[in-house]
Amino acid sequence: MKILIISMLFEPVIGGAETTVKNQGQILSERGHDVTILTSRFAGTKNRERSGRILIERPNRLMASRKSGFLFHFTTFLSFFVFLFLVKRRRFDVVHCHMTHYPLLLGFLIKRIEPCAKVVVTSHGSDLNVYGRITIWRAILKWLVRGIDFLFVVSHELEQEAVDIGIPKRKVIYIPNGVSKEFLQVKDDSELEFDVLFFGSVKWQKGIMYLLQASRILEKKKRIIRIAIAGSGPHLPYLQNLSKKLAVSNVEFLGKVSKRRILNLLATSRIVVFPSVTEGFPCALLESLAAGKPIIATPVGEMKSILVNDVNAIVVKPKDPASIVNALLDLLNNDEKQRILSQNARRTISSEYLWESIVDRVLVYYS
């Protein structure tokens, strides 16, 4: 099959949606499918290149230095539209759009022009969770999804949200995110680099500000812990300024990191924290479970379905730095509890969450 994947962001930007696009694209191409990824261009990236067998297309766009905000999205949409409908009139058997705003609109338009193409869209959470409260957006989404084949959602919470909007239930398909086998092979390093790790997209939905506030409370208690924030995103400058304002000296912002570095950080960090305000199903959570890390997380999105308090994680209230503090102290003072959570975390990850199994499920709907 000739498969087009439309993703606003891709390498060098790495987040949950980008991880999904990369892993699914790689496996599909390894199975003999012709995969093209259409994504936004930034300064320093190439218009066209190959990553393994995958063709990556980055059409020119205005203001290529912007990576977020209205102008980023507007110029990206224009570049995609020109590329798809005015420059490259390639036919694809499958078009897979990621996010339910303008990638979905592009998929809708492709379906109108090429009715035989299979068009699906994946909601990763930050779209439905953020825009789902806006009445006019809900009406537009309902109309657009009726014009494509399927809406994939990565959590049962998003599945219910889509049905509540009025999207036909037969079109809403729950397909979770996945995890690579390498994370199952992570072993703790005897030389710890950090006490606490967060990794993923750095945006307000991830609730990282509450982790910083918890760090400040711990410093006042004379308990200094080393915290790593690994990842990039639109919220990073705000968090760096907040860290200075709170005068926390123990937080290190690592910025964009490679997969190899993430594997290393998981091996050299004691605890992983996900203080999210809203979520879909973060790939970083699955990777941390597979690596057997003690986890502190909030019960939002699919995290509340997969995590059991005091079994495979400590579950804390969203937007509550004090509960993060209590959970951290509980774990840092109890090596046996860390060991139990670690064992149960790894047991949580069954073969159904491996990317190969996820792609098997996706291909059913592509066909």
Both 161 and 200 in one domain: the answer is no
Both 104 and 240 in one domain: the answer is no
- What mean pLDDT value characterizes the chain? 93
Spell 56-85 as b/e; 16+ CB within 10 A means b. bbbbebeebebbeeeebeebbbebbbebbe
Cβ-proximal residues to 316 (8 Å cutoff; 6+ apart), any chain: 275, 296, 297, 298, 323, 324, 326, 327
Both 207 and 231 in one domain: the answer is yes
pLDDT digits (tens, 9 = 90+) for 192-209: 999 999 999 999 999 999
The conformation of residue 101, written as its DSSP 8-state character, comes to S
Both 63 and 163 in one domain: the answer is yes
Both 8 and 151 in one domain: the answer is yes
C-alpha pair distances (Å), 52 with each of 28, 132, 363:
12, 37, 20
Both 23 and 117 in one domain: the answer is yes
pLDDT digits (tens, 9 = 90+) for 234-268: 899 999 999 999 999 899 999 999 999 999 999 99
Token pair in block for residue 346 = 């790894």
Both 136 and 197 in one domain: the answer is no
> Domain total for the chain?
2
Both 168 and 195 in one domain: the answer is no
Both 133 and 249 in one domain: the answer is no
Both 116 and 236 in one domain: the answer is no
Both 166 and 298 in one domain: the answer is no
In this prediction the pTM is 0.91
Find the domain containing 17 and state its range.
2-179+353-366
- How many angstroms separate the CA atoms of 310 and 348, rounded? 13
pLDDT digits (tens, 9 = 90+) for 22-49: 999 999 999 999 999 999 998 788 999 9
Both 288 and 146 in one domain: the answer is no
We report the CATH number of the domain holding residue 166 as 3.40.50.2000
Rounded mean pLDDT of 156-185?
94
Q: ∠55-19-172 over CA atoms, to 5°? A: 95
